[in-house]
Amino acid sequence: MVFVMSDRPFFFRCINEACHKEFDIGRKLYQCPSCSDLLDIIKPPPDLDPTQLKELFRQRAASKNPLDISAVWRYREFLPFEERDLGHVVTMGEGNNPVLETPRCAEYVGLNRLRVKHLGWNPTGSFKDYGMTTAVTQAKKLGSRVVACASTGNTSASMAAYCARAGLRAVVFIPEGQIAFGKLSQSLDYGALTLQLEGNFDVAMGLVRELSDETDLYLMNSINPFRLEGQQTVILELLEQLDWKVPDRIVVPGGNLGNCSSYGKILMDLKKMGFIDKVPRITIIQASGADPLYRTLVTSSAELVPVPDAWTLASAIKIGKPISWKKALRTLKFTDGWCDVVSEQEIADAKATLGLDGIGCEPASATTVAGLKKLMKLGQDDVTMDPDEDVIAILTGHQLKDPDYTVNYHLDNLHEHAIYENNLIEKSGKIKSTFANKPMEIGPDKEKIIRLLKL
Ligand SMILES: *Cc1c(COP(=O)(O)O)cnc(C)c1O
Ligand SMILES: [Zn+2]
C-alpha cells in the first residue's frame, strides 16, 4: 500500500450517515476501512463566489493553456487537487463537446425540443475520459506503478490511453468476447496488458477489487472517487454551455452508476454554494435485461437487487451489480429524479432516430432517447413529463465503438442474443429494424442509377 501524508484541505468521507468517518485523501482508498461503504471526496468551497468563478471559466475558455483547454481542468476549483499538483496533470483536452438540437428525436419522443450533449466526442470516444484524466493524475501523484480496471470496454480504452500518456503500466480485465471491437482495439493500441477473462463484467470487477485490496495495484474503476470527481465537470461544462440556465431534466444511461452519481454530487455542491437555484431531475435509464437499480427501486429494497445474468446488446451497461448504486439512489433522491428501463427494441429504434438527426452513438447512449419516449407515453399519472420540459440527453459513447450493432440493425440482422459471431450465446428474439436503411446492390449502370434516383 502506498500512503502519502497530506495537509490538503480535501478528505475522504464515508457516505454511510451512521459512519461518516473521514480519511486522509493521500491514502489509496476505495471504500470505508471501517464499514466498507463508498467514499466521497469532501472539498472546501472555492475561494471565489459564483459570479467570479463564472467569469474565470469564461476567460479560460479562450486560453491556450492545456489545463484551460481541458473541460475538466478548466473547472479545477471544483477538483480535489492543489496548485502544486497542476504541473503533473495528465490531460488530452477532454470535453469541449457541443450541446446539439435533435429535432427528429424530439418529435419521436414527443417533446417540443430535445438537446443532446455528446460525451462520445472525447479523446477515446466516451465520457470515461472526464474521470480518467483526474484518476490517472492521482495515480501518478500516489507513485503507483501499476493501475488496473475491470471494464465493459470504454473504461479500459480510456485508462489505457491516459496511462500510456502518463507512463504507467495498465492492466485491463475484460469479459471475453463481450466487449465491442472498437473498444478492444483501443486498449491493444495503447499498450495495455489486456486480460480477457472468462465470465461477465461482474466477475471481472470482483476479481480486480480483491487484487487491488491485496496488492499495490491501483484500481481505476468508478469506485475510485477520483474518477467521479472528474466526471462532475460534465455538469459544469453543460451548465456553462446553457448560460447557467438549469434544464428541467438530464437523462443518462445507468450501468455501473458512476456517471449519474457524479452528477448528483456536483449538483448538491452547486446548490449549496448558490451557484444554481434549481436542480435538474436526473433520470437514469437502464436496459431491461440489466436493470438492478430499477429492480431495487420498484421493490423498495434496502439492499441492491442484483441481476446475476445481466444481459443487453448495449454492452457498456451490461452490468448486474453496479458499484455506485447507493450514490445513484442519493442522486435520485436529491434531484427528485426518476429511473426506468427500456427494451432492446426501444434502444435500437432510438439509436436509429438519433442517426437520422446526424448523430451516431453507442447503443447504451440511445437508452436516453428511448427512455424519454417511454416517459412521455407513461403520461401524467406515473410521471409528470410535459412536452415543454427543457431536457438534455447525455450521449455517452461514440458510434464507431460498436459499428457491428449499427450495420446489423440496418441489414435487418440484429438479434437479441447474438453479440459477436465468435460468441453466439443463442439466437432468440430478432430485433425489428423499424428504420432500416439497407445498402442497395446495383451494377455500374448509369441509366439505371439515373432512373433509380429520378434525376
Ligand atoms: C461506462 C458507460 C456507460 C455507463 O456509465 P456508468 O457510469 O457505469 O453508469 C454508459 N454508456 C457508455 C458508452 C459507457 O461507456
Ligand atoms: Zn464507513
Looking at residues 59-82, what average pLDDT do you find? Answer: 96
pLDDT number for residue 5: 41
pLDDT tens digits for range 305-323: 999 989 999 999 999 999 9
Render pLDDT for 110-161 as a digit per residue (tens, 0 to 9).
999 999 999 999 999 999 999 999 999 999 999 999 999 999 899 999 999 9
pLDDT band for position 176 (50/70/90)? confident
**Residue 257: what residue type?**
L
Q: Is the pLDDT of residue 1 over 60?
A: no
Q: Average pLDDT for residues 382-409, to the nearest whole number?
A: 92
Summary mean pLDDT of the chain: 93
Q: Which three cell numbers stand for residue 361?
A: 452513438
- Which residue has 480496471 as its cell numbers? 149
243 dihedral zone (left: phi>0; alpha: psi -120 to 50; beta): left
396 pocket-lining for ligand 1 (C-beta < 6 Å): yes
Find the mean pLDDT for residues 77-97. Answer: 96
List, for residues 44-68, the tens digit of each pLDDT value: 988 899 999 999 999 999 999 999 9
Pocket test for ligand 1, best of 119, 122, 127, 158 (most atoms within 8 A of CB): 127
Length of the chain: 455
Which atom from ligand 1 is nearest to the alpha carbon of 231? 7
Q: Whose CA is nearest to atom 1 of ligand 1?
A: 316
Residues near 58 by beta carbon (within 8 Å), at least 6 away in sequence:
240
pLDDT band at 415; cut points 50, 70, 90: confident
State the closest ligand 1 atom to the C-alpha of 253, by its place in the atom list counted from 1: 10
The answer, yes or no, to whether residue 3 has pLDDT greater than 50, is no
Q: At what angle do helices 233-241 and 258-273 cross, to 10 degrees?
A: 60
pLDDT at position 383 is: 63
For 8-50, the pLDDT digits (tens) are 589 999 999 999 999 999 999 999 999 999 999 999 988 899 9
pLDDT of residue 422 exceeding 90, the answer is no
- φ and ψ at 190, to 5 degrees? -85, 10
Confidence of residue 392 (pLDDT cuts 50, 70, 90): very high
Residue with CA nearest ligand 1 atom 2? 316
CA-to-CA distance for 305 and 154, rounded, in angstroms?
25
Does the pLDDT value for residue 2 go beyond 80?
A: no
Check residue 167 and give left, alpha or beta (phi > 0: left; psi -120 to 50: alpha): left
CA-based torsion, 49, 51, 54, 59: positive or negative:
negative
Please check whether residue 72 is in contact with residue 230, taking contact to mean a CB–CB distance below 8 angstroms.
Answer: yes
Does 364 sit in the ligand 1 pocket, CB within 6 Å? yes
Q: Find out whether the beta carbon of 395 lies less than 6 Å from any atom of ligand 1.
A: no
Residue 14 near residue 35, CB atoms below 8 Å: yes
Give per-residue pLDDT as tens, 314-361.
999 999 999 999 999 999 999 999 999 999 999 999 999 999 999 999
Q: Cα angle at 316 between 195 and 398, to 5 degrees? A: 105
Residue 268 reports pLDDT greater than 80 = yes
Distance 211 CA to ligand 2 centre (A): 21
Q: Is the pLDDT of residue 419 over 90?
A: no
Q: How far is the CA of 33 from the centre of ligand 2 (A)?
A: 7
Q: At what angle do helices 154-166 and 128-141 cross, to 10 degrees?
A: 40
pLDDT on residue 309: 86
Burial class of residue 150 in the structure, from the number of CB atoms within 10 Å of its CB (0-12 exposed, 13-18 middle, 19+ buried): buried
Ligand 1 pocket member 362 (CB < 6 A): yes
Q: For residue 35, which ligand has an atom nearest its CA?
A: 2
**In this predicted model, what pLDDT tens digit does every residue of 226-252 receive, in sequence order?**
999 999 999 999 999 999 999 999 999
In Å, the largest CA–CA distance within the chain is 78
* Tens-place pLDDT, residues 193-227: 999 999 888 899 999 999 999 998 999 999 999 99
Tell me how crowded residue 21 is: count the other CB atoms within 10 A of its CB: 14
Mean pLDDT value across residues 396-425: 80
Ligand 2 centre distance from Cα of residue 410 (Å): 50
CB 296 within 8 A of CB 266: no
Question: Taking the mean position of all CA atoms in its chain, how far away is CA 209?
Answer: 20
User: In this predicted structure, what is the pLDDT of residue 199?
Assistant: 87
Check if the beta carbon of residue 120 is closer than 8 Å to that of residue 180: no
Cell of 455: 434525376
Cβ contacts of 38 within 8 Å, gap of 6 or more: 14, 15, 31, 32, 223, 225, 323, 324, 326, 327
- Residue 377: predicted pLDDT: 85
- pLDDT attached to residue 175: 87
Asked if residue 431 lies in contact with residue 411, where contact means CB atoms within 8 angstroms, the answer is: no
Residues whose beta carbons lie less than 5 angstroms from ion ligand 2: 14, 16, 19, 32, 34-35, 37
- Three-class DSSP category at 126: strand
In terms of Cα–Cα distance, which of 183, 218, 213, 179 is closest to 199?
179
Task: Determine the distance separating the centroid of ligand 1 and the alpha carbon of 254, expressed in angstroms.
Answer: 7
Determine the residue of 250, 317, 327, 394 to mutate for testing ligand 1's pocket, defined as the one with the most ligand atoms within 8 A of the Cβ atom. 317
- Coarse DSSP helix, strand, coil percentages of the chain, rounded to the nearest 5 percent: 40, 15, 40
Alpha-carbon distance of 302 to 416, in angstroms, equals 32
Q: Which of 251, 256, 405 is the best mutation target for the ligand 1 pocket, counting ligand atoms within 8 Å of the beta carbon and taking the most?
A: 256
Distance 353 CA to ligand 1 centre (A): 20
Beta strands of 108-248 (E only): which ranges?
114-118, 146-150, 169-175, 193-197, 218-219
Q: Ligand 1 in contact with 158 (CB < 6 A)? A: no
Q: List, in order of start, the domains of the chain with CATH numbers.
A: 99-124+229-427 (3.40.50.1100)
Measured from the Cβ of residue 396, the count of other Cβ atoms closer than 10 Å reads 31
